Structure 1
Amino acid sequence: MLLTKNNLGDRSDRIYDAIVVGGGAGGLSAGIYLQRYLLNSLVIDKGKARSFWMQELHNYLGLSPDTPGRELLTQGKDHYLSVGGDYLNAFVEEVTDEGETFLVKVKVGRKNSIEHTFRTRYLIAGSGIIDHLPQLSNMQNVFDYAGYNLHVCLICDGYEIADQRVGVFASSEAALGVADPLRWFTPEITLFTHGQFSVSPEKRQHYENLGFTLIETPIQQFVGQHHQMTGVELIDGTVVPLEAGLISMGSRFHTDYLEGLNLEKKGNNLVTDDMRRTSHPRVFAIGDLKVGLNQVVIAAADGALAATQIWRDIRRVEGTRRVRMRSAA
């Protein structure tokens, strides 16, 4: 059921088997599997998943290469609702471990918002990340190209930029390291620091030996048209021609609501086992939040794994009780 401010009371007394935080590919996949295991679930989505911004999914098996990410999410949401799942657009503020259940506090609505709480036996964290972008005085100029030929994932999009003149936009010397594996796809690489950090003499020599160009002058704007970037204009007026860009500036992890659970992390990523269980036995992490690859197809598989393990856990405790309940009904 699609939940809104008006019908939240219908679920006030329900204890969900699992609440999924995040309505991206991983979260929706988890929700669909949970429902197909005859469990009851709620997907809480704040909107604008990372895949929402993908203009075309060129590497998802079975989909037309021009399928936008938002179409995948729309179909996934419809599928989830069709198997009886609950879905709510809201922001998860806090999760409290009560022992046998979690108390999930949410804020519903951007205007005239209200607070509400849900309870669940298991929690699946699929709230994802948001990529940091080059900070310019006119951010719309960045948004005009991000997700088109200004990419954020080498593994996803290396094929898209093969044999092109590519600019790497980094936030630190360490982040420039993406240029080394990028050489597999193209040798024509220009590195941009945007004047934000210095590069050591050793690294300068390394990149010079590889034939890379290092530009440390701050960027004024990207240039191009129809969402296709054709270069970068520096603050001194110089225009550097490019055919594509790769942003390597890190990401913000949407995990504030989990802070009270003290989950094990590796860097900013949550550590999980093979079934995506975290250091807490009833909390799972999927998609970009966990340690591992960050592709849409991987996130969808993560959701299936987490849901399957939750079903196994519940089945061990309840045995065939739910089957008998359905038969009696």
Structure 2
Amino acid sequence: MQLSKNNLQEKLDQIYDVILIGGGAGGLSAGIYLQRYRLSSLIIDKGKARSFWMQELHNYLGLPPDTPGRVLLQRGKEHYASLDGDFLNGFVEEVVDEGETFAVKVKVGRQNSIEAVFRAKYLMAASGIIDYLPPLDDMGNVYDYAGYNLHVCMVCDGYEMTDKKCGFFAGSEAAIEEMVFNLSWFTPYITIFTHGVFTVSESLKTKLREHGYPLIETPIQQFLGKNHQMTGVELTDGTIIELETGLISMGSRYHNTYLKGINLELQGNNLVTDKMCRTSHPKIFAIGDLKLGLNQVIIAAGDGALAATAIWREIRRETGARPWVENLPNSAIKC
């Protein structure tokens, strides 16, 4: 059921088996499994999952390589709806652990918004991360190419950059150290851009020179290209540098602030989980980009299946086997 400001009141007294925060590939996969396990679930989604603006999913098994991420999400949402799962577009502000249940506080509606509280026995965090993009005056110019041949994930898209002139757009010196020399596995034709937002040490500059990688510290004025294919950048001094592809590594924000009131084990910014995606809290699961592991759409979908199955097994054990009442001794059978 699609919930909105007009009909959510009828669900406020319900205690769901699971509330899932995030309606990307991981959240939808988990929701589908939960509904197939005959459990009750609510997905709360803020919109624009990371995979939404991926223009081509080249590495998702069984899909045509030019399938846009939004198509995958739409099909997943339709599948979930066909299984009678509840879905709400809203922003989760806070989660409170009440002991037997979690209270999930949600803001619904961008204008004239209202607040609502939903409750569940289990919680699944599937809200992912938000990538930082090069901060230009005209951010529309960035979105013209982001998700096309301007990539944010080397593991996902390194193959697409093979032997191409690649611009590496870094947010820190650490990003250069961590990523550039790995990126060279796919292409050695790498130009590093700092956009003038941080200083590169002399030792790293020397290392880059030794590998023949140009370092550009002048800020970027705009990206160049047409039909969503980036062909280079223009710097603020008017210099034009030709490129064929790009990789952005300017950091990201983990969308998990709603969990700040719950003491969960972290490694860096990632939630630590077991092999079934359970966090250090026995009734909170984390899937996809929030947990340790690869940031891949197909991994998130697999995580959703694992976490949903772990919850079902636990509830099944607590509930016990359903008896065939009519076959029990002394059963009153009505003819």
Same fold (TM over 0.5): yes
Quote how far apart the aligned CAs of 1:19 are: 0.4
Cα deviations by residue, 1:293-315 (Å, 9 ceiling, x for unpaired): 00000000000011011111111
Aligned equivalents of 1:113, 1:236: Cα separation in 2: 45
2:184 corresponds to? 183
The equivalences for 1:3-14 within 5 A come to 3-14=3-14
2:122 corresponds to? 122
Q: Given residue 321 of structure 2, which amino acid in structure 1 is its aligned partner? A: T
Aligned equivalents of 2:252, 2:230: Cα separation in 1: 22
Answer yes or no: is 1:62 the counterpart of 2:65: no
Change in Cα spacing, 1:64 to 1:321, as seen in structure 2 (3 Å) is: same
Aligned equivalents of 1:123, 1:160: Cα separation in 2: 37
Change in Cα spacing, 1:116 to 1:206, as seen in structure 2 (3 Å) is: same
Aligned equivalents of 1:315, 1:290: Cα separation in 2: 26
2:297 corresponds to? 296
2:46 corresponds to? 46
Aligned equivalents of 2:86, 2:224: Cα separation in 1: 44
1:282 corresponds to? 283
Cα deviations by residue, 1:192-241 (Å, 9 ceiling, x for unpaired): 11111111121111111111111111111111111111111111111011
Q: Given residue 141 of structure 2, which amino acid in structure 1 is its aligned partner? A: N
Aligned equivalents of 1:319, 1:90: Cα separation in 2: 35
Aligned equivalents of 2:43, 2:191: Cα separation in 1: 42
The secondary structure found in structure 1 opposite 2:246 is strand
Total equivalences in the alignment? 324
The equivalences for 1:91-240 within 5 A come to 91-177=91-177, 178-240=179-241
Aligned equivalents of 1:232, 1:155: Cα separation in 2: 24
Change in Cα spacing, 1:82 to 1:148, as seen in structure 2 (3 Å) is: same
2:270 corresponds to? 269
Bigger CA radius of gyration: 2
TM score, norm. by length of structure 1: 0.96
2:331 corresponds to? none
Cα deviations by residue, 1:130-156 (Å, 9 ceiling, x for unpaired): 100000111111111111111000000
Cα deviations by residue, 1:258-284 (Å, 9 ceiling, x for unpaired): 100121111111111111111111000
The secondary structure found in structure 1 opposite 2:43 is strand
The secondary structure found in structure 2 opposite 1:220 is strand
Aligned equivalents of 1:101, 1:224: Cα separation in 2: 52
1:241 corresponds to? 242
Aligned equivalents of 2:188, 2:302: Cα separation in 1: 33
Quote how far apart the aligned CAs of 1:321 are: 4.8
1:327 corresponds to? none
Q: Given residue 4 of structure 1, which amino acid in structure 2 is its aligned partner? A: S
2:308 corresponds to? 307
TM score, norm. by length of structure 2: 0.95
Cα deviations by residue, 1:171-198 (Å, 9 ceiling, x for unpaired): 1100112111111101100011111111
Aligned equivalents of 1:323, 1:208: Cα separation in 2: 75
Aligned equivalents of 1:268, 1:144: Cα separation in 2: 29
Aligned equivalents of 1:161, 1:260: Cα separation in 2: 42
Aligned equivalents of 1:260, 1:301: Cα separation in 2: 28
Quote how far apart the aligned CAs of 1:11 are: 1.3
The secondary structure found in structure 2 opposite 1:236 is coil
Quote how far apart the aligned CAs of 1:6 are: 1.6
The equivalences for 1:68-107 within 5 A come to 68-107=68-107
Q: Given residue 218 of structure 2, which amino acid in structure 1 is its aligned partner? A: T
Q: Given residue 163 of structure 2, which amino acid in structure 1 is its aligned partner? A: D
Aligned equivalents of 2:86, 2:257: Cα separation in 1: 23
Aligned equivalents of 2:88, 2:118: Cα separation in 1: 11
The secondary structure found in structure 1 opposite 2:148 is coil
The secondary structure found in structure 2 opposite 1:252 is strand
Identity of aligned residues (%): 69
Aligned equivalents of 2:2, 2:292: Cα separation in 1: 31
Aligned equivalents of 2:134, 2:11: Cα separation in 1: 43
RMSD: 1.2
